[in-house]
Structure 1
Amino acid sequence: MLRSLLTLFLVGLVTLIVAGVVLSVVGMAVGLASFLLFKVAPFLFVGWVVVKVIEKTRGRGKLSGTDRKWSDAE
């Protein structure tokens, strides 16, 4: 009787420890995702918009002489 109670206690304790580790990993993943979404992504988006605006003002299809020579060499 005592052995079965100790076994159930140990199984419950291991279950709580495993659940705590799993929930902490999930929490860290959610925290990292929210950090990337709300802190890093806006800077990347602004940079992407700036690059697109610069491409439109310069003209996308223009190659420099060196680039043209390099692409024709192959």
Structure 2
Amino acid sequence: MIGTLLTFLAVGIVSIVVVWIVLSVVGSLLGLTMTIATFLLFKVAPVMFLGWAALKLWAWARNNRGFLSAKDRRWLERE
């Protein structure tokens, strides 16, 4: 009887420790994921957006000037 109670107590303590370790690992991974996501969202994304906008603006200015490359002219004249 006492042996069974001690076995249940030991299994309960071991399961609590295992759950504690698993939850701490999951929490650490979640914190790391949130840190990386925050870094990408607030540091990398604005720089990429500005670069994308600059390239779009440059392409728009280049196309509106009537500039055609030699390859574009050959392609247009071929038809």
TM-score, structure 1 normalization: 0.81
Give runs of ≥4 in structure 1 deviating > 3 Å.
Answer: 60-63, 66-70
Structure 1: stretches of 5+ with no match in the other structure: none
In structure 2, what is the Cα distance between the partners aligned to 1:68 and 1:8?
79
- What is the match of residue 20 of structure 2? 16
3-state SS of paired residue (2:23): helix
- What is the match of residue 61 of structure 2? 57
> 1:69: how far off?
6.1
TM-score, structure 2 normalization: 0.76
Aligned residue pairs, count: 70
Larger Rg: 2
In structure 1, what is the Cα distance between the partners aligned to 2:43 and 2:12?
46
Write out per-residue CA displacement over residues 9-67 of structure 1, whole angstroms, 9 at most, x where no aligned residue: 00000000000101111111111000000000110011011101101110079652246
Q: 1:39 aligns with which of 36, 43, 47?
A: 43
The percentage of counterpart residues that share the same residue type is 41
CA RMSD, Structure 1 to Structure 2 (Å): 2.1
